[in-house]
Chain A
Amino acid sequence: MAISEDKVAHVAGLAKLTFSKEELQKFTGQMDEIINMVQQLSDVDTTGVEVTTHVTDAVDTMREDKAVKGMDRELLMKNVPDHQDGFIKVPAIIDESEGA
């Protein structure tokens, strides 16, 4: 086993996902297989090799510092699940039922 259920559960927490017990078992098995597959990379000697994180030919460029009209505020709310008076509504950040 390259990865344990506990580790998978920890990663799920980082990724803001939750799994049932059965799902966790299934995902651990599949993650294990995938990790075994990708571990063949350890065969490659990469001493002194630079990383490639993009392949664009672009160089950093500055745009002109000019004010442009943004997206219409009403329109921006179109896909918001819950909103009021131009604000997005969300539940309490801290669980109220837990008490202070």
Chain B
Amino acid sequence: MDYFANDLTSLHDLLVKKEISVTELTKETLAAIKEREQKVAAFLSVDEQGALKQAAELDQKGIDADNILAGIPLGIKDNIVTKGLTTTAASKILENFNPIYDAAVIEKLKAAQTITIGKTNLDEFAMGGSTENSAFKTTKNAWDQTKVPGGSSGGSAAAVAAGEVVASLGSDTGGSIRQPASFNGIVGVKPTYGRVSRYGLIAFASSLDQIGPFTRNVKDNAQLLNAISGADPRDFTSSKHEVPDFAQGIAAGVKGMRIAVPKEYLGEGIAADVKKAIKDAISVFEKLGATVDEVSLPHSKYGVPVYYIIASSEASSNLQRFDGIRYGHRAQEVKNLEDVYVKSRSEGFGDEVKRRIMLGTFSLSAGTYDAFFKKAAQVRTLICQDFAQVFAKYDLILGPTTPTTAFGIGEDIKDPVTMYMNDILTIPVNLAGLPGMSLPAGYSKGLPIGLQLIANQFDEKTMYRAGYAFEQETDFHKQVPMIGGQN
């Protein structure tokens, strides 16, 4: 199946008209994965048997014409638990972990009759921005295999960008969906905090984590978000807010829409090619009838330090559960129980995870709590207030997703602080719990540039509407990487 030439709507038509069976679609998807994995290495595991079994059952039942997702094979980030299907979070500590339940989003996708074709690579426990922190393999950018795919959801992004699947799920704590979407020239959405249940998402930073979809176009993305949204009694932070049909009214245009561009988002540290693409995007929105004004988010520059304290503090607490007792790696050659904890964790976690546990433990410990955790939580309030002031007057915020295009494999990994600064434009959105989207807005030296759209809480519809309008006016989303058999 050529996923570059099809979207969810056209695939659904083919399935409904029986021009292709679910089994055929699944087999073709498996074949594409087999061929392209040699280049991108996006998957940690592929469930060939399970996928074909599910496909056969769906062929037996027939495809419901009203269910756009029926029979569609999807990639799932490997920090989302899947019953009976090994889930590792790309960590040695969970190398053989076989979940006994499905995440809420997987239950919803099963109800929507999608097929989980495999689990995608990530930075260990979703900590990182390049997928180089995976304990198992290095995923490559679909456009240039010497470049990182971004992260932490690098596998989910590369799989879609390389045409292995039409869509996938990732998770975003500080930019882990939007940044890899930007680096791979596809559409990635982090929904409003609480929009999607986190039940069954292996927790990194619970006040920031959110699951969201990767697709090759905006409408597909809205349709996939429709399927996974909604309140869940097992995640008390999931919102009871009404879930609208995100795809309905998506073509209404942006005439009269008030768009704000934070001057900090086009300032120092943003590469010239990225700035130019975003300025061109601004012209497109103006041409389409939106008004665009410059605003300021004065505290956004503190987003990175605030994030690293808060996310690491929450991670140090969440990751206490990996102690070698109930699941995961248990160290051998131990003398006592304390040894089990210390050795299992020290052997099982990779360096970046250890750094964050250490920073978090330090930030929360007596003597440093006020200067670190409390201070960060206060500055987080100021960052939220900056956004609230802008959204009092504007419908949408626009800027780049990342300061640069994808960097080289091995380039930043040795210097944690440089790596952290890559997230400067995406992190504030998580801190304030807002929805954010990245979509393709240009290319520089053969690498995609991402446009970031940020809406007010629970106003994903405005974001989708703007993204769709931009996409209809441009052809960046139609460009495909030179990968697989088509070139």
By a beta-carbon cutoff of 8 Å, the part of chain A in contact with chain B is: 3, 7-8, 11-12, 14-19, 27, 30-31, 33-35, 37-42, 44, 46, 49-58, 61, 63, 71, 75-76, 78-82, 88, 90-97
Quote the shortest CB–CB distance from A77 to chain B (angstroms).
Answer: 9
- Chain B residues whose CB sits within 8 angstroms of the CB of A18 once the complex forms: 342-343, 346
Taking CB as reference atom, which chain B residue is nearest A16? B341
| Majority secondary structure, B binding face | helix
Taking CB as reference atom, which chain B residue is nearest A49? B378
- Chain B residues whose CB sits within 8 angstroms of the CB of A12 once the complex forms: 358
Contact assessment for A79 and B327 in the assembled complex, using a CB-CB cutoff below 8 Å: yes
Quote the shortest CB–CB distance from B172 to chain A (angstroms).
Answer: 14
Taking CB as reference atom, which chain B residue is nearest A57? B239
Complex-state Cα separation, A95 to B327, whole angstroms = 23
Q: Which single member of A34, A42, A49, A56 contacts B416 (CB below 8 Å)?
A: A34
Contact assessment for B336 and A46 in the assembled complex, using a CB-CB cutoff below 8 Å: no
Contact assessment for B98 and A19 in the assembled complex, using a CB-CB cutoff below 8 Å: no
Contact assessment for B379 and A55 in the assembled complex, using a CB-CB cutoff below 8 Å: no
Q: Which single member of B98, B329, B334, B433 contacts A78 (CB below 8 Å)?
A: B98
Quote the shortest CB–CB distance from B194 to chain A (angstroms).
Answer: 5
B376 within 8 A of A: yes
Q: Which single member of B339, B355, B375 contacts A34 (CB below 8 Å)?
A: B355
Sample of 10 further A-B pairs with CB below 8 A, known A33-B417, A44-B302, A58-B240: A17-B358, A27-B354, A34-B420, A49-B378, A55-B207, A56-B194, A57-B239, A82-B330, A90-B340, A91-B339
Q: Which single member of A3, A30, A37, A42 contacts B355 (CB below 8 Å)?
A: A30
Contact assessment for B358 and A27 in the assembled complex, using a CB-CB cutoff below 8 Å: yes
Quote the shortest CB–CB distance from A38 to chain B (angstroms).
Answer: 4
Contact assessment for B365 and A55 in the assembled complex, using a CB-CB cutoff below 8 Å: no
Once A16-B345, A38-B308, A53-B207 are accepted as A-B contacts, the answer to whether A79 and B100 lie under 8 Å apart by CB is: yes
Q: Which single member of B308, B320, B362, B417 contacts A11 (CB below 8 Å)?
A: B362
Taking CB as reference atom, which chain B residue is nearest A3? B362
Write 28 A-B pairs (CB below 8 A) sorted by A numbering. A7-B362, A14-B365, A16-B342, A17-B342, A30-B416, A31-B362, A33-B417, A34-B416, A37-B305, A38-B308, A40-B305, A41-B376, A41-B379, A46-B375, A46-B379, A51-B378, A52-B431, A55-B193, A55-B432, A56-B239, A58-B238, A71-B101, A78-B98, A79-B100, A80-B325, A81-B329, A88-B325, A91-B340
Contact assessment for A78 and B340 in the assembled complex, using a CB-CB cutoff below 8 Å: no
- Chain A residues whose CB sits within 8 angstroms of the CB of B433 once the complex forms: 55-56
B75 within 8 A of A: no
Quote the shortest CB–CB distance from A59 to chain B (angstroms).
Answer: 10
Once A11-B361, A90-B340 are accepted as A-B contacts, the answer to whether A42 and B371 lie under 8 Å apart by CB is: yes
Contact assessment for A8 and B381 in the assembled complex, using a CB-CB cutoff below 8 Å: no
Complex-state Cα separation, A44 to B376, whole angstroms = 10
B393 within 8 A of A: no
